[in-house]
Amino acid sequence: MSMLDSLAAGLALVGNLEAFLALAGGIAIGVIGGAIPGMSATMAVALTLPFTFAMQPITGILLLLGVYKGGIFGGSIPAILIKTPGTPASSATVLDGYPMAERGEAGRALGMSLWASCTADLVSNLALILVAGWLASFALSFGPPEFFTLILFSLTIIAGVSGDSLLRGALSAMLGLLLATVGLDLVYGTNRFTFGDPSLMGGLNFIAVLIGLFAIPEVLAMVWHPTGHLGKARKLGHNRVTLADYRRSFVSILRGSFIGVFLGSIPGIGAAPSAFLAYSEARRKSPNRANFGKGEIEGVAAAEAGNNGVAGATLIPLLALGVPGDVITAIIIGAFMVHGLQPGPMMFIMNVDIIYGLFLGLLISSVFLLIIGSVAIRGFRYVADVPRRLLVPVVLILCIYGVYAVNNNVFDVGVMFAMGWVGFLMMRCHVPAAPFLIAFILGPLLEDNFRQAMLMSGSDPSILVRGPITWFFWALTVITVVAILRSGLKSRRDAAPSGTPDPSPRS
């Protein structure tokens, strides 16, 4: 079959109302699911999966992909409006999105989030269609040593999201690393810091930690000081994103999309680190660097581009190698298997019509996301106008509900509240929460890959510099660390003549 024939066959598969409805319905489910705190994109996809068993393969898969893409965007809505990432991938969006909402610019932040998401989505889909084969073979050269160096480099993000004090950021990251060690040891299977409690054997639930760290401190702050928010110009989310905003952030969006595509095509990383990396790269390169973390629209754009850039690209290892790139695609692979489809190189020969059908469906999905997303924003942005005394209790209920629903486990709700107090104390001591989260995500990956590398080589550390990919990331890490040290020294020199550095206002 020629390419045109395949394209026609694919078109025949998706060119019907059912497929379009599935895609649109999926995106709508995803946006709503993602927008509910605690109900992450992963869970929305998991809940939709059983319904696809009875559908045509392509319809079912498009439905799931729609939920995935919608969910990753939808997560940014509560991240911006109520400082609660709806899905882990939108944690980085909180950093600038929430300050914007506080300033009364919720509509603008949401609009930018949607545009950035759709742009990144399109880039990601095009990457999947055009360079899947090449990226997939590249992804296969990523073993534990390469992963280790990539993640080591990614830890430098911490400097980018630490705010004014690198020391406080490092402290926060260290706490995150420490808590991430709870659970079963990967290599020996022994208990670590479980104190004999079976509930701790699975480690601390990520969603519970995430919500505890971001949303609960806001609730506690409200209880602590019920009238503290009065007088702040938080209301009226009616302002919109402008073309000028988009043009100004375009480079960051594009860079974020490429970071997303790159990290998405490597199995095992996922959208959250990608969003943080895109954010910190945007901050490093932006002329408005100083404004990052205080409500910079470019920060929202970069973070959202970073996480949506992953969505299409995670299908690269899935379709080209049959390897799921993250938790969500691991669920989606189940839908393939129930229909007797086996993703991998052979699928490009045996079921080429389905592959092209998926490609076409994905391209349409970016447009659907734009339409459904704008409708959702129109509905949700009024949340910004809800008086805080009403909003905060509702948020609290949603958080408890959401965290319980992740694993049907009351223990997780306890973890959320405990982390809420930790987050509250951190907030009062001006210790930023983002480094904690990054360390909590990346710490276990770093440790596991290091130990796997050591197992591979029989504890010979030279495996960590075994090839060009590792050299590249080592070099990148060294350059970044040097740059961080230099800018740190420079700011200290600058600050020294004017006396004490100004107290960090971030909270």
Partner 1 sequence: MKLQRIGALGALSMIAFANVAQAEYPERPVNMVIPYGAGGATDISARLIAEPLGTAVGKPLVMANITGAGGATGSVSVQNASPDGYTMLFARVGSHTVSPAMKATLPYTLDDFRFVTVYEINPVACAVNARSDIETMDDLIAKAKSEGVSYSSSGVGTLLHIAAAMVLNEFGIEDPTTSATHIPQKGGGGAATAVLNGTADMVCTNSSTLASFVKNGQLRPLLVTTEEPIPGFDAPTAVELGKPALTQLVGWTGIAGPDDLPDEVVEKWGGWMETATSDAEFRDALTANGSIIELMSPAEAQEFIQTQYETFRGLVDKLGMRVEG
Tokens of 217: 């401190």
- Residue 413 interacting with partner 1 (CB under 8 A): no
Least Cβ distance, residue 133 to partner 1 (angstroms): 13
**Identified binder of partner 1 from the candidate list 12, 21, 130, 186, rule CB under 8 A:** 186
Residues 49 and 335 sit within 8 Å (Cβ to Cβ): yes
Of 399-407, 416-424, 475-483, 499-507, which part binds partner 1 (CB under 8 A)? 399-407
Calculate the dihedral angle through the C-alpha atoms of 137, 139, 145, 151, rounding to the nearest 10 degrees: 160
CA distance 34 to 242: 25
- The yes or no reply on residue 394 touching partner 1 (CB under 8 A) is no
Which CB sits closer to partner 1, 190 or 500? Answer: 190
Residue of the chain from 4, 188, 231, 247 that contacts partner 1 (CB under 8 A): 188
Alpha-carbon distance values, 485 to 158, 489, 498 (Å): 13, 6, 21
Given 267, 309, 312, 443, the residue binding partner 1 (CB under 8 A)? 267
C-alpha closest to that of 272 among 48, 28, 75: 75
Query: In terms of CB distance, is 456 or 476 closer to partner 1?
Result: 456
Residue range at the interface with partner 1 (CB under 8 A); choices 149-157, 216-224, 413-421, 455-463: 455-463
Work out which of 98, 142, 214, 279 binds partner 1, going by CB under 8 A.
142
User: From the CB of 244, what's the least distance to partner 1, in Å?
Assistant: 41
Contacts of 262 (CB under 8 A, 6+ apart): 135, 313
By CB under 8 A, name the one of 8, 170, 338, 476 that touches partner 1. 338
Asked whether the beta carbons of 413 and 132 are under 8 A apart, the reply is: no
Asked whether the beta carbons of 326 and 270 are under 8 A apart, the reply is yes
175-187 core/surface letters (b: 16 or more CB in 10 A; e: else): bbbebbebbeeee
DSSP 96-113: HHHHHHHTT-HHHHHHHH
Q: Which is nearer to partner 1, 444 or 481 (CB)?
A: 444
Judged by beta carbon, residue 174 or residue 338, the one nearer partner 1 is 338
Contacts of 497 (CB under 8 A, 6+ apart): none
Q: Applying CB under 8 A, does 102 fall inside the site for partner 1?
A: no
Q: Could you say whether residue 140 binds partner 1 (CB under 8 A)?
A: yes
Distances, alpha carbon 220 to alpha carbons 81, 213, 418, 427, 431, in Å: 17, 11, 12, 11, 16
Q: Tell me how far apart the alpha carbons of residues 249 and 504 are, in angstroms, rounded to a whole number.
A: 26
Two tokens, residue 433: 């929460």
- Cβ-based nearer residue to partner 1, 42 or 117: 42
Query: Is 455 an interacting residue with respect to partner 1 (CB under 8 A)?
Result: yes
Q: How many CA atoms lie within 13 A of 241 on its CB side?
A: 28
| Touching partner 1, residues 190-219 (CB under 8 A) | 190-191, 198-199, 201-203, 205
Q: Does residue 305 touch partner 1 according to CB under 8 A?
A: no
**CA 497/CA 257 separation, integer angstroms:** 41
Under the criterion CB under 8 A, does residue 344 sit at the interface with partner 1? yes
Q: Is 30 in the site for partner 1 (CB under 8 A)?
A: no
Least Å distance, CB 33 to partner 1, is 9
Residues 435-454 that bind partner 1 (CB under 8 A): 448, 452
Q: Which of 7, 236, 327, 469 binds partner 1 (CB under 8 A)?
A: 327
- Which stretches of the chain bind partner 1, using CB under 8 A? 39, 42-43, 45-47, 49-50, 53, 140-144, 183-191, 198-199, 201-203, 205, 267-268, 321-324, 327, 330-335, 337-340, 342-347, 401, 404-405, 407-409, 448, 452, 455-456, 458
